[in-house]
Amino acid sequence: MPTQMNADQMKLLSRTTPRYTSYPTAPNFETGAGEELIDALIKNANSNGPASLYLHVPYCDRLCWFCGCHTKQIRRYEPVAKYVETLIGEMKLVRRSAGKPIRVSRIHWGGGSPSILRQAESVALRSALEENFLIADGAEVSVEVDPSDLENADISALVALGITRASIGVQDFDERVQSAINRPQSFESTKAAADRLRQAGVSSLNIDALYGLPHQTTNTLRRTTELINELRPDRIALFGYAHVPWLKKHQRLIPEDALPGIEERFAQAEAASTWFREFGYVAIGIDHFSLPGDELAKAMSEGRLRRNFQGYTTDCCDTLIGLGASAISRSPQAYVQNLPPTSLYQSKIEAGELAALKGKRLSLDDQIRALMIEDLMCNFSINVARLEEKFGDAANRYVEEMHMVANQRIPMLCRMTKTGLEMVEQMKPFVRLVAAEFDAYLTDQTQRFSKVV
């Protein structure tokens, strides 16, 4: 990462862009198109090989002010139990629409806090999954965990789901930072949760942390990275906090004058990356780290790294079936998103209909640009031979576009080589800016997104 920047560079790097966990990005999905697309997506799922499942649990027992997820705080468990019934109903509708069980090799539980589930609901969900899908032996089953949920009984609930990987939210261990984001969480409670998960047989642990938080400094972040290293997770995700109060109203509770400026954010990201690598982790893409023997590091070295809504992944499934309020499904031809409001989602499922709302049918242009952007985000380059192998002569005009971007538009960030477009080494953290150059939908510069770093 550059340590000194002139005014023009600072202006460029201060831009905001999508995170490119998909292309086209979710704001470009078309309302009303989901109902048309979801049936075909489900019916064709088995023809694309095993699918992945994403199940969304939109409930937490506390509201963290930094959160950008679709979730709500609850004080009673009854809404969770009722929601589980709806999730099971949606599974049955998907099975009916497919005509036969869809083969599944990966399952991810997101939220909200899926760890809020109790054992009875977890057992019911696992049974419903096995009844309505063909789950492969050895399938990876991952879950996002809030340590405050994990009493001993709740560990049993996660085990009942067949969890093999858990992602523990940390964000930051500094008490002043935690107070500013309404996320009190001690290192001791986090370690206890990690220890109980490992003792219960969960084979892999991730830690999710943030930089760019209110009152956070490079010094406070140093202590957080040291404590994370004491936990020795298999993977670490270090995201830049996305302050988007126009989208998430609860973020207005965060004091904006306490947020670090753009140079401090750059410094935090650079320093944390250096420290994790010194601790023996391999840097993965722009914001992930893994132990050298982890499958994520192997996938990166072998060119198998992929990008999805959770960030970097080894998941090579072409089809994703999203279940739950706001969940997104994906196939090589389309994206489909469920109704976000929980009440509307539940009403639709209870009426015996799939809850798809938004969707986007992918044109050839979309598919080519999606591959280019994913290649950039995963490998910091666009391989021309890969484009030509998949799309033939249709790739030609995109190669011309690469030359224009590298030679005329942003030569400080990227360059052309014998194999294609490549990021300048020290500018790799700003790869989202290069990806944005190939985003055909990003024409309105007044659109508001998160900071590049």
pLDDT mean values, one per 10 residues, the chain (453 residues): 58 78 93 92 93 96 87 92 98 96 97 92 96 96 92 83 94 96 94 94 95 95 98 96 88 93 90 97 97 97 93 94 97 96 97 96 97 97 96 96 95 95 93 95 67 69
Give the residue ranges of DSSP H helices in 99-236. Answer: 119-132, 152-160, 175-181, 187-199, 218-231
Neighbours of 145 (CB within 10 A): 30
Cα Rg of the chain (Å, integer) = 21
Among 149, 234, 229, residue whose Cα is nearest residue 196? 149
Contact 92, 349 (CB under 8 A): no
211 Cβ contact partners less than 8 Å away, ≥ 6 residues apart: 221, 238, 239, 240, 241, 265, 268, 269, 272
- At residue 366's C-alpha, the angle toward residues 360 and 369, to 5°, is 140
pLDDT at 448: 62
CA atoms within a 13 Å half-sphere pointing along the CA-CB vector of 136: 15
- The whole-number pLDDT of residue 16 equals 79
Q: What is the pLDDT of residue 420?
A: 97
**Angle CA(237)–CA(241)–CA(242) in degrees, nearest 5?**
120
Instruction: State the Cα angle at 318 between 314 and 324, rounded to 5°.
Output: 90
Q: What is the pTM (predicted TM-score) of this model?
A: 0.93
Q: CA 198 from chain center: how many Å?
A: 23
Cα separation, 120 vs 117, whole angstroms:
8
| Residue 2 confidence (pLDDT) | 46
Residue 362, both tokens: 């992918």
pLDDT of res. 7: 66
Q: What confidence score (pLDDT) does residue 262 get?
A: 86
DSSP-derived secondary structure letter, 305: -
Count of alpha carbons within 13 angstroms of residue 413, beta-carbon side: 26
Burial (0-12, 13-18, 19+ Cβ within 10 Å), 162? middle
Contact 418, 2 (CB under 8 A): no
